[in-house]
Every structure is written in structure tokens, then in C-alpha cells.
Structure 1
Amino acid sequence: MARKQFTINKEPHVAEVGDVELHFVPEVMGDEFLDGYAALIEQQRELGAGSGDLSQIDAGRLRGIVTELRSFLGKLMTQETRERFFRYVVQQRGKKPVVFTSGDEAEAHAAGLTGSVSIKDESMQLPTRVLMELLEWVAEIYGGGRPPTSSNGSVPPSPPRGIPGTGTSRSRGSTRGSGR
């Protein structure tokens, strides 16, 4: 009888960004991760960001990519980290501020209030390069160590050049027939 033991991660993955630790959920269901990752990559492709040359992209469109990237990463974060990463504060004059992790939720809440109301985005700001590095990192940890868009099998390594021989060389030494 064949037997194989599998482990399930129970401790959050931790990304250290400066003085801050960002905690990501220990395990993510494959489809959940792949669907989000595929949607993010497709949006980047549609906006022309796949080439890596961001100078040709309209600032508004680039902001949309960054927003989508932050949203994708946020879905993989633990609740505590998500609450630090996304922080929208709705302040109504004379009332205690109310905090949301979604700008849409904050706007919906503010729309139902009367009087002087403001929404302040106090979300964690990170350079785009750090967000991209986080994306690569989560793709590695949740994608099983290979890009999640690759097929199940990896491309096999190229065979060595030449055909190894077992005969002796003309010098009658004991070297192999193909190279040294």
C-alpha cells in the first residue's frame, strides 16, 4: 500500500515591508487564487502593461492597475493586516469616526449620513515596485513554486549536447566521448 503525507500550512506567511509585517493567509484554495491572479494579469494585458513599459500607459489606467493589484493582495491578507492595509475613515462632525476596509463601503455609509461628512483614505501606501514584488512573492507561495499560468508540467531540461560515448578516445584516455 502506498502512503503519502501532506501538510497544510497553519501559520500565516509574513512579508516584511520596512518596519511593517504583512500577514497573508496560510492556505488559499487554488481556484480562488488562480481566478484572481488571471483577472489581474488580463487587466494588465488589456491596458498594455504586460510589456513592462509603463511610460506609455495613461496615469488613470495605471492607477486602475495598482488599485486592482492592491485589491488582489488584500484578498490574500489576514483580516488584521487587511484592516491596516485598507483604511477608509468616515468622519461626521461631532460623531466618532467609522473605519472601513473598502472605499465603496465607506462611500455607501457616508451617503446615508447628513451634515458635514468626509471620507479620508488612510490606507497603507507602498511604492509600485514593492507591490509588484509582493505579487511575485504570493504567486510563488500560493502558486506552488511556479508561475500559476504555467501548465501542470514544466518544460523538460534540454538534453546534453552530443551523445555520451562509452568507447575510448583516440588518445586512449578514459574520458567520455562528448566533451570534458
Structure 2
Amino acid sequence: MKKTFSLHTEPHVADVGGKELQFLPEVMGDQFMDAYSGLIEAQRAASGIDLEDLATVDSNKLRGAARAMRAFLAELMLPESAGLFTRLNVVKDGKVLESFPDRVDAERFADEVEGGGAVVVDAFPLPDRILVQLLEWVVELYGGGADERPPTSSTGSATASRRGGRRGMGVPSSRA
């Protein structure tokens, strides 16, 4: 008996609003678990977030949780997609003044903008629901939860084999 295992060689692609984010074709278990552990630690640090009462939650904790999700996802992306996904812009009066890969540097720059009023925003803004959907998809891809064969794969649409033995002789409920 021979069993063949295939490795993904093409990047996984998430189309988000017409922009493609490319993820690593394969991720080894340690790499995935290290990235996932980082996400868990960041979520633990942001603990105290009561999803039932968001009005009392510190907005910096919510931002931290969203940044942690972005950092986790970016660790599993190809470099170009990761750079886009994590880039931050410093904006004043609707104009992008500078872009940064790191929040600390972006906030430092924003604080030093003459006249104040500069804010740090994601260069690739996404609603939280999209971040959560991407997170779930990636966990399925790399955590072993989903079989990502292309639909044209010969085994992608194979029907299940019949069980051995005699067919049941019961009367179908539709005839009763």
C-alpha cells in the first residue's frame, strides 16, 4: 500500500477587498505554534476586555488586541503582503506624512509633528470582522483543520465508497 502526501508550493491567497494577501504555502508546526503563542500572550496582556461591555474598555487594549492579530497573521504571510498588512501611516489633516513598520516609531513621529494633531492609522485598514475571519482561516490552514485541496483535484470531489455488506431493506420515509 502506498500513500502520497503533497506539499503546497503555491502561496495561499486571501482576497480582501480586491487586494491579495499572500500567505506562506506551508508552515512547519513550530513556526505556527510560535506565532500562535505570541498571539495568545498578546491577548493575555490585553485581558480585561469584556466583550459584553465594550464601553468601559480602554481603547488602547482594543488596539493592542487588533495589533496582535495583525502581527500573528503577518508572521505567516509572504514579506510583501506582511509589509502592507502591518504598515502604519502618520496622518494629519487627511494627508499621509510618513509610513512606518513599527507602532512605537510611528507614535514617536506623530508626537513630534509640528502643531500636533497627527494620528497613527493602519495603512491597510480592515474591519475587525475581517481580521477575525482571516485569523480563523489561517488557523484552519496551518493548524490542520482544513483540507485545502483545489476543487479541481482528482480527490477533491471523490464520493465516499459504499460500505460492505447488504443494503438495508427498510422502507424509505418518503414512501411511508
Q: TM-score range by the shorter chain?
A: 0.5 to 0.7
Q: Compute the TM-score of the two structures, normalised by the length of structure 1.
A: 0.59
Give the counterpart letter for 1:24 in structure 2: F
Unaligned runs of 5+ in 1: 91-96, 111-115, 147-173, 176-180
Task: Give unmatched runs, 5+ long, in structure 2.
Answer: 91-96, 147-168, 171-176
Matches of 2:122 and 2:41 in 1, distance apart? 28
**What corresponds to 1:144 in structure 2?**
144
* Deviating more after overlay: 2-11 vs 124-133: 2-11
Alignment-derived partner of residue 17 in structure 1: 16
Equivalent pair of 1:87/1:99 in contact (CA under 8 Å): yes
CA distance in 2, matches of 1:53, 1:119: 28
> Match of 1:16, SS?
strand
How many Å separate the matches in 1 of 2:107 and 2:41? 28
Q: In 1, are the aligned partners of 2:42 and 2:64 still within 8 Å (CA)?
A: no
**Secondary structure, in 3 states, of the residue corresponding to 2:22?**
strand
Tell me whether 64-73 or 76-85 shows the greater mean CA deviation.
76-85
- The 2-side partners of 1:75 and 1:8 are apart by 20
Say if 2:38 is the partner of 1:27. no
Please give the per-residue CA displacement for 1:78-129, whole angstroms capped at 9, x wherever unaligned: 1111222233469xxxxxx986533456689x7xxxxx8x996562110111
Q: Which has the larger radius of gyration?
A: 1
Name the CA distance, whole Å, in 1 between partners of 2:8 and 2:73. Answer: 19
2:80 alignment counterpart: 80
Q: Given that residues 39 and 72 in structure 2 are in contact (C-alpha distance below 8 angstroms), is that contact kept between their aligned partners in structure 1? A: yes
Question: In structure 2, the residue corresponding to 1:41 is in which secondary structure?
Answer: helix
CA contact (8 A) 1:88 1:119 kept: no
Distance 1:125 1:36, change over 3 A: same
Q: Describe how 1:119-130 pairs up with structure 2 within 5 A.
A: 123-130=123-130
What letter matches 2:81 in structure 1?
Answer: T
Task: Tell me: CA distance 1:21–1:62, structure 2 relative to 1, closer, same or farther (3 Å).
Answer: same
The structure-2 alpha-carbon separation of the partners of 1:130 and 1:87, relative to structure 1 and needing over 3 Å to count, comes to same
2:74 partner amino acid: G
2:165 counterpart residue number: none
1:123-146 Cα distance to aligned partner (Å, 9 max, x none): 211011100110000000000117
Q: Determine helix, strand or coil for the equivalent of 1:6.
A: coil
CA distance 1:16–1:40, shift in 2 (3 Å)? same
Determine the C-alpha separation between the residues in 2 that align with 1:100 and 1:43.
21
> Could you say which residue in structure 2 is the equivalent of 1:60?
60
Instruction: Determine if contact 1:82/1:101 at 8 Å carries over to the other structure.
Output: no
TM-score, structure 2 as length reference? 0.60
- 1:39 is matched with which residue? 38
CA RMSD after TM alignment? 3.5
- Indicate the SS of the match to 2:135: helix
